[in-house]
Chain A
Amino acid sequence: MEPNLVSPSQRRNFLMIMLGGVGSLLAVAAGWPLVRFLMPSDTGDAASQVAIDRTLVTPGTAHLFQFQGRPAVVLQTAPGEFVALSAVCTHLGCIVQWQEEESQFLCPCHAGRFSTDGSVISGPPPKPLEILPVTLDGDQVLVG
């Protein structure tokens, strides 16, 4: 057998570098599926419209529903006039409650108050509630 001119430790260093390369490729090959597996799924409801039965939204009451994965509320302010708002308080993200007697929204967490157009009446919320577009289609109230 021919004597090996390269010493074992030299070969080892070379092999280490090769293994480092192969290992990082394998790490990517294992990491990519993992990240994709755990990615929030795109359920496609971001663009969708929500239809609500008009009878659910009588004058003076509020109806809570899910819009694009977040709570929203629709109410009939005057006969035939509908308003839809995000129900997520702009302060810390609690869900606002409709106060029928006072005709305003109250956030139970830190007493933020909003009017029916979403603007802040009092309390800590820094911004008004987001207004969602509403259209009427026969017996259906379409939000979005």
Chain B
Amino acid sequence: MIRQTILCCGFLVVLVCGLLVSPAAAQQDETVCIQCHGGLPDALGVPVGEWRQSLHADNGISCHDCHGGDPTDFAMAMSPERGFLGAPDYTAVPEFCGRCHVGVLGDYQESAHGQALQAGGAQCVMCHGNHAVQKASLDLINPESCARCHDYERADKIKGILADTDGKIIAMEEELARLGKLGMAVEAFEGQLFDLRNRFHRAFHTVKEARVREQTGEVLAGLETLRAGVDEIDAGLGQRKLWGGVAIALLVLAGILFLQMRKTYEEDEKG
């Protein structure tokens, strides 16, 4: 009987241990684009490494999403039949990016940059880069970058108008992330903030002071509403902490009282 129990137990133990965790991690599926270009030298391979660090990679936007082609078929990957586009010409870049970033494209085309495109005016990748594209920030407006074409003065002025509001947007992003980590339902807020941020960043692409100022007002009003929502959640959390503190204090007090009770019995036990 004991031997059987031991055997059963040993089996159970091994089984339970079998359930425990191993480091095997699921492999990410790689497209044929990456499999091939990843091993190529220089200009044909570098983009893969750059892309891996990019915002596009973080959001699951891969080679074929921009360049077209068939990411599942080695032979036909770069066939125009499968919609392969290749790399766009300098002047075709705004339309290339604008297939997804439609709002920005409209504002850009109205702007001095967009109007001067055929004459070598700035386009998307001049400031944002291409494969290594990062989340846009005000740091993209800087003397080195702007002074490649014109003097920095006007750009700096617009940056000045943007800076305060942009800072508030970033601060709000952090606030929402903090609440999200506590399990609060902030998806709706995040959606609103994403929309505000996009409208705000779009406005910059007109490079017109008046337009930027006008947008700033709307964005600030939107941020106020979000602020109120965040404050309400925080107030609720503060309340929880307060009442939680009371409950903890009561439990500790009850524990101490029980220990005192135990003491009275200990005295009886001695006597």
Contact = CB atoms under 8 A, between A and B. Distances in A.
A15 B260 contact: yes
A19 interface: yes
A29 B251 CA distance: 11
Given A11-B264, A15-B264, A29 B246 contact: yes
A26 B258 CA distance: 15
A137 B28 CA distance: 54
A18 B257 CA distance: 8
B258 A19 contact: yes
B267 interface: yes
A26 B254 contact: yes
A23 B257 CA distance: 11
Contact of B254 (A9, A11, A19): A19
Size bracket, chain A contacts: 10 to 19
B265 A8 contact: yes
A129 to B, nearest CB: 40
Contact of B264 (A9, A23, A29): A9
Contacts of B243: 29
B250 interface: yes
Given A26-B247, A29-B246, A11 B260 contact: yes
B261 interface: yes
B224 interface: no
A117 B254 CA distance: 64
B51 to A, nearest CB: 47
Nearest to B267: A8
A19 B261 CA distance: 10
A8 B267 CA distance: 7
Contacts of A16: 261
B268 interface: yes
A34 interface: no
A12 B261 contact: yes
Contacts of A12: 261, 264
A25 interface: yes
B253 interface: yes
A8 B264 contact: yes
Contact of A22 (B257, B264, B267): B257
A22 B253 contact: yes
Contacts of B260: 11, 15
B254 A29 contact: no
Contacts of B250: 22, 25-26, 29
A25 B249 CA distance: 11
Most A CB within 10 A of own CB, among B243, B254, B268: B254
A19 B257 contact: yes
Nearest to A29: B247
A18 B243 CA distance: 21
A8 B268 contact: yes
A16 B257 CA distance: 9
Contacts of A11: 260, 264
Interface in B154-212: none
Nearest to A12: B264
Interface string A1-27: 000000011011001101100110110
Nearest to B258: A19
A22 B249 CA distance: 10
A64 to B, nearest CB: 34
7 contacts: A8-B268, A11-B260, A11-B264, A15-B261, A26-B250, A26-B251, A29-B246
Given A8-B268, A15-B264, 13 more contacts: A8-B265, A8-B267, A11-B260, A12-B261, A15-B261, A22-B250, A22-B253, A22-B254, A25-B250, A26-B251, A29-B243, A29-B246, A29-B250
